[in-house]
Amino acid sequence: MEWSILYGSDNQPAFKQIDEYVNNELWQGLNTYLQEAYDIFPKLSYSRCSMQPGWNVKYQKSGKSLCTLYPMQNSFIALVVIGNKEAVEADMLIPSCSEYTKTIYQNTAFSLGGRWLMLQVSEQSVLQDVINLIQIRVKPKENSKR
């Protein structure tokens, strides 16, 4: 069943229910990394956005958004916004990223203060790209770089 139907705005899922729905080791890997590397815990938020409606998982550090994760059955999308401050460093990183991430980056126009990268995390290389992009936004604790 579709995520936004299964958990409507009046039916907030528990993190365990999200984990079970996504059922993907890359999901577990990213969540574990973010919580340990940034010493943060995610927040649930409901979005009526037509692109990806429903409950999502947000990570923020000191008021700065690291990423938003959109659960899907056996998969997920990671939204990472690359703003003006990160643009030069991101431009230098992108050539070393997966072909998928390069394509998304090149095809995403700069708008609303940044590039809003919606990355379908379906393989380890894309997961690593997401982590690298997040590290540009906010540096992790020294002993937790991946």
Residue 146 domain flag: no
Asked if the model's pLDDT at residue 64 lies above 80, the reply is yes
142 vs 33: CA distance, rounded Å: 13
pLDDT tens-place string over residues 108-129: 998 878 999 999 999 999 999 9
- What's the domain count of the chain? 1
**What CATH number does the domain containing 26 carry?**
3.90.1150
139 vs 145: CA distance, rounded Å: 9
Secondary structure of the chain: what % helix, strand, coil (to 5)? 45, 25, 30
pLDDT tens-place string over residues 67-88: 999 999 999 999 999 999 999 9
- Please state, for a pLDDT cut of 70, what percent of the chain lies above it: 97
Residue 85 domain flag: yes
Q: Which domain holds residue 29?
A: 3-141
Q: Return the residue matching tokens 């990570």.
A: 59
* pLDDT score, position 48: 85
Asked if the model's pLDDT at residue 28 lies above 90, the reply is yes
72 compared with 142, residue with greater pLDDT: 72
> Could you please report the per-residue DSSP string of 44-95?
EEEE--SSS-EEEEEEEETTEEEEEEEEETTEEEEEEEEEGGGHHHHHHHGG
pTM of the model: 0.93
